[in-house]
Structure 1
Amino acid sequence: MNTTRLLPAALCVLAVAGTPALAQDDPKATEQWTPVPPVVTPGTPAGQPPSDAVRLFDGHDLSAWEASRDGSPARWKVHDGVLTVDKATGNIQTRRRFRNYQLHLEWQVPKNVTGEGQARGNSGVFLASTGPGDEGYEIQIMDSYDNPTYVNGQAGSVYKQSAPLANAMRPPGQWQTYDIVWTAPVFAADGTLVSPAYVTLFHNGVLVQNHTRLTGETRYIGKPSYTPYTDAPIKLQAHGDPSPPISFRDIWVRPLD
């Protein structure tokens, strides 16, 4: 009489679709070989855009931007490799539309800044611009160096929603850096919210928003709420406060979908 010896299941080698399965105590069982991630060459020197980045402002022109209010050419001031807000011409936004992305931008409050609170070097980056005015999802930009204001309105905040985890401001006259990861909200065909927006923000290399869940679009008055959209431009704000305007440089984005 023939006997069949049964090996422990963990030591069996099975065939699935013609490919031998590995025993669960084999280290190869947990190795993943595909799909192979694309090669992205980091910027050189550090801080420069990586090889797959889309340059939004490289110090030369505003060809990637338009006026938010009517889609006409953006008319902020380009000089000495930087972009300075022109409050008279209003907000500007990217001609290209985005969903999920990594964004890098640098901004500077002028050394001769005046005013206090929200009237001191105020601007903002709207991670998804859903209208011609100040509609969308805003990360606050302003001088928060020794300048008290409400904490969900200082630099690094999700404006009127989430205060930053730290105040990482450098003094006026020095360049500030934002590195942002934006996860766009998802809506069903009937406009209902399927998943909310999230944002992660490093201010001058310091984590100030850690996968923060947004409760809707920015509202100056009232509670945030969601308006369905699919993709949207990135917008920079020309705030109407009387302080001298701020400047930007080295703006690039990596689409993540």
Structure 2
Amino acid sequence: MKSKKLVYIPILLIYMVACSSNEPREGETADIPAESHEKALNALTMAEKDEGWELLFDGESTQGWHNYLEEGITGWKVEGGILYTEGGNGDIVTDKEFENFEFKLDWKIQDQGNSGVFYYVREAPKYLRIHHTGPEYQIIDDDNYPQKLMDNQKTGAISDLKAGSAIPSKVPGVWNHTRILAHDGHVEHWFNGDKVAEAEMDSSEWKELVANSKFAAFEYGKVLKGNIGLQDHGNPVAFRNIKIRVL
């Protein structure tokens, strides 16, 4: 455990310096939405309020979240308006369940990082991991991950199920933007403003994809209501501007 901290803490110090400012860094302006730079972090614009958006992260606390299958949160931290984990602290899920929704957040990983956003997670002791039930929006270092990745394991994919479009990911160390639309079984994954994957969860195609995946033995993707989860895959990852709009 001590050696792990010696590796992660200096990196996270760099994280927090970069995260503490709303100003864009060099090379960060291409695809990141303007709101990440020009509007207050973890706040709703008047337009978002009118559209029914709500914050799932207040920028100051972990209120509204808990470790999967536990009460409260341990290990995850909030600093400078950023929700982050150094790795090894377990996945977290929302206290609330959601059915039809539009969801968005900003995220940042480091070199060789791996994380993800889950939805329709069914939280029960018989489901030991959030990926046993909830589909995942993959977040990963496509180019430098230490294992060879299949297309359905790259950023924006419905993880291990359906590949996303071949859109180059931004390098680790800069903010990226994720949007997930889920409505009556239709799901869309958006990455830095582009739709990269979609599926119908009640379709024969979906059932075939699940049957031929590592999720075949689980009750995976069988319900259209559940918690939203953020993954701690053992690597540092940071999140901000976590928002949802119930449809």
Same fold (TM over 0.5): yes
Structure 1 unmatched runs, 5+: 1-42, 114-119, 185-196
In structure 2, which of residues 183, 188, 195 is the aligned counterpart of residue 207 of structure 1? Answer: 195
Q: Secondary structure at the match of 1:152?
A: helix
Task: Write out aligned runs for 1:65-214 (5 A).
Answer: 65-73=65-73, 75-110=75-110, 113=111, 120-131=112-123, 132-134=128-130, 135=132, 136-145=134-143, 149-184=149-184, 197-209=185-197, 211-214=198-201
Instruction: Please give the root-mean-square deviation of Cα atoms over the aligned residues, in Å.
Output: 2.8
**Letter paired with 1:73:** I
What TM-score comes out, normalization by structure 1 length? 0.65
**Letter paired with 2:246:** P
Cα deviation, residue 232, structure 1: 1.1
In structure 2, the residue matched to 1:23 is none
Cα deviation, residue 179, structure 1: 1.2
In structure 2, the residue matched to 1:237 is 231
Larger radius of gyration, structure 1 or 2?
1
In structure 2, the residue matched to 1:37 is none
Q: Which has the higher contact order (CA 8 A, sep 6+)?
A: 2
Cα deviation, residue 144, structure 1: 1.5
Question: Residues 138 and 218 of structure 1 are in contact (CA less than 8 Å); yes or no, is this contact kept in structure 2?
Answer: no
Percent identity over paired residues: 28
Cα deviation, residue 88, structure 1: 3.1
From the superposition, tell whether residues 152 and 206 of structure 1 become closer, same or farther in structure 2 (CA, over 3 Å). same
What TM-score comes out, normalization by structure 2 length? 0.67
Greater helix proportion: 2
In structure 2, which of residues 214, 218, 221 is the aligned counterpart of residue 221 of structure 1? Answer: 214
Cα deviation, residue 61, structure 1: 0.9
Cα deviation, residue 64, structure 1: 1.2
Aligned pair count reads 190
